[in-house]
Amino acid sequence: MSLSPIERTVFVVSDSTGITAETFSHSVLSQFAQFEFEAIRIPFIDTIEKAESVAARINRCAQEQGQPPLVFSTLVDPKMAHIIGKANCTFLDLFGAFVRHIERALGVKSSRSVGRSHSAGTSNKRYNNRIEAINFSLAHDDGQYVNGLEQADVILVGVSRCGKTPTSLYLAMQYAVKAANYPLTPDDFERDTLPATLLPYRKKLFGLSIQPERLAEVRNERRPNSRYASLSQCLNEVADAERLMRMENIPWLSTTTKSIEEISTKILDEIGLDRRLY
């Protein structure tokens, strides 16, 4: 069937998972916010036959919708990319567009090996580090387990429901950062000190805060109409937590309008983990 003038179909084609092409397509298409894009990911296209079947699918789509779809490709094999590129589409060849520049810069030919980017054999150290970090962050979520905190790369602190858990998991999953998190509670504010458990790790602490109004919304989803979720409680806890973090010289940021990607990037920047080896 044909689409409305603001709808467009997008194919994301890859010899591997397609996650790179999908991330990129999402990023660049966010510059065309007046459109609605339906993205169809077609991963693991690693033979000529599969490429031909994708080209046929793209052609059918173009005919049915009366307009050629956008196609983001990270196909490494030039023959497969060529097959897709000949279909009735706007072909955006992420790999082909850059690999020759890089070959020239490095003075070698690329290996053109299909399906490399997210393949992680069990021998892959970086991959094992990520899994280990995920297990660490899960075990050290919400202060539930305090043994091994000395192995943490960072310990996120803040009031309940300010975003510590998703941020810890993202840091672990994406960056193999061992991120623990530990709540700051009314008990701590009464004593006006950090929890004793955290004192030996003061240099690893990073604070998250949040606007009290937003916090009340989030807590109300969890425990509707509770004292815990009341605006007055949230106002007090946030004020106390921010005062404590300032007093203790803990770097912190507000999560209110930030995605977990943005929060994580700022934390990595702050704790000096902005370099990676490929």
Residues within window 28-47 making contact with its own copies, judged by CB under 8 A:
28-44
How wide is the angle at C-alpha 257 spanned by C-alphas 275 and 167, nearest 5°?
Answer: 45
Is 165 annotated to bind a ligand? Reply is yes
* Residue 142: both structure tokens together: 């919400």
The answer to whether residue 4 forms part of the interface with its own copies (CB under 8 A) is: no
The answer to whether residue 51 forms part of the interface with its own copies (CB under 8 A) is: no
Is 117 annotated to bind a ligand? Reply is no
Is 238 annotated to bind a ligand? Reply is no
The answer to whether residue 98 forms part of the interface with its own copies (CB under 8 A) is: yes
Q: Judged by CB, which is closer to its own copies: 16, or 233?
A: 16
- Cα(224)–Cα(150) distance, integer angstroms: 37
Is 234 annotated to bind a ligand? Reply is no
Out of 112, 202, 223, 243, which residue is the one contacting its own copies (CB under 8 A)? 112
Tell me, by CB under 8 A, how many residues bind its own copies: 88
- Whether the Cβ atoms of residue 144 and residue 169 lie closer than 8 Å to each other: no
Q: How far is the CB of 185 from its own copies (least distance, A)?
A: 20
Please name the residues in contact with 222: beta carbons below 8 A apart, sequence gap of 6 or more.
Answer: 161, 229
Neighbours of 174 (CB within 10 A): 15
Neighbours of 143 (CB within 10 A): 19
User: What sign for the dihedral angle of Cα 260, 263, 270, 247?
Assistant: negative
The answer to whether residue 27 forms part of the interface with its own copies (CB under 8 A) is: yes
Selected range binding its own copies among 77-85, 179-187, 223-231, 250-258, rule: CB under 8 A: 250-258
Out of 99, 231, 235, 271, which residue is the one contacting its own copies (CB under 8 A)? 99
- Whether the Cβ atoms of residue 247 and residue 204 lie closer than 8 Å to each other: no
Q: Judged by CB, which is closer to its own copies: 203, or 278?
A: 278
User: Scanning residues 202 to 221, which ones bind its own copies (CB under 8 A)?
Assistant: 214
Phi first, then psi: what are they for 156, rounded to 5°?
Answer: -80, 135
Is 163 annotated to bind a ligand? Reply is yes
The answer to whether residue 80 forms part of the interface with its own copies (CB under 8 A) is: no
Phi first, then psi: what are they for 168, rounded to 5°?
Answer: -60, -45
- Cα(155)–Cα(194) distance, integer angstroms: 13
User: Scanning residues 126 to 155, which ones bind its own copies (CB under 8 A)?
Assistant: 127, 130-131, 134-135, 138, 141
Residue numbering of the annotated binding site for ADP: 158-165
